[in-house]
Amino acid sequence: MRDKPVLIANWKMHKNLSETKAFIDALSKRDGLTQAWVGITPSFTALSTAASLAVNTPIHIGAQTLHEQAKGAFTGEVSARQIREAGGSFVLIGHSERRHVYKESDTLIHEKLKIALEEGLKPILCIGETLQERESGQTEAVLERQLASALNGLPKSDSLTIAYEPVWAIGTGVVASPEVAQETQVLSRKIIGSIHGEAFSKKISILYGGSVKPENAGKLLSEPDIDGALIGGASLDVQSFYQIIEACL
């Protein structure tokens, strides 16, 4: 359960260096950031710049993905250690775009989670069902498969955070209702409890993601099992991201 709301901006393949700088300069001057756990995942090319700018601010900088091996001949890939060295402290794992566009399997996601934990990066494990899976009543089975495959055999780390992001709500403008989101967060917590025990499942933060905006963030975050949000489109504008933070405090 949350101690502070966790609010993470997923910038995907947006923002150049000067835009990154302007955003972090502006956000870091706003009040109240320490009342939340605020994170940003810029592109790899802006990671080090963003991390330098965020030193001595309450903003955490992380990566959008990582490679599952510590090092080696993997052209184009970035390791956990390289992310840490660039100043990243956390990493998104299994985002729906990685699962569906880049065909990342449950097994690969497990390997990525394993190395993130070994290398001391805080993992944000993303899970979620497609519209077709929800409509055919498979939501529970999908979440069970994704969570069991990712978590089985790994230590119960307090740094683990889950982001429930229904695929049908990501970038579509269709947000899950607070009731549906809450119900599915409870389900995810129950599944985590069956893997790692109820006490652990109660301790960890489960975020909601998918079309979160300033207008719906407060209502979503007022649900008892929604501990934060992973925000794509609405995090690209500093005013809109800050309004989401304010709405959740």
State in angstroms the smallest separation of the CB of 60 from ligand PGA. Answer: 16
* DSSP secondary structure letters along 6-24: EEEEE-TT---HHHHHHHH
**196/235 with CB nearer ligand PGA:** 235
Binding footprint of ligand PGA on the chain (CB under 6 A): 10, 165, 170-171, 209-212, 230-234
Q: Which residue is nearest to ligand PGA (CB)?
A: 232
95 labelled catalytic = yes
Token pair 């740094």 in the structure block, residue: 159
Report whether 148 contacts 191 (CB < 8 A).
yes
In the chain, DSSP assigns E strands to: 6-10, 37-41, 59-63, 90-93, 122-127, 161-164, 205-209, 228-231
Q: Which of 97, 129, 133, 165 is catalytic?
A: 165
User: In angstroms, rounded to a whole number, what is the distance separating the alpha carbons of residues 115 and 63?
Assistant: 14
Q: What is the nearest approach in angstroms of ligand PGA to the Cβ of residue 80?
A: 20
Out of 60, 67, 68, 95, the active site residue is 95
Query: How distant is the alpha carbon of residue 107 from its chain centre?
Result: 19
Nearer to ligand PGA, 91 or 170 (CB): 170
- Smallest CA-to-CA distance from 116 within 140, 137, 88 is with 88
Nearer to ligand PGA, 88 or 233 (CB): 233
Tell me whether residue 92 or residue 160 sits nearer to ligand PGA (CB atom): 92
| Shortest Å distance, C-beta 172 to ligand PGA | 7
Q: Minimal distance in Å, beta carbon 128 to ligand PGA?
A: 9
Residues recognised as catalytic? 95, 165
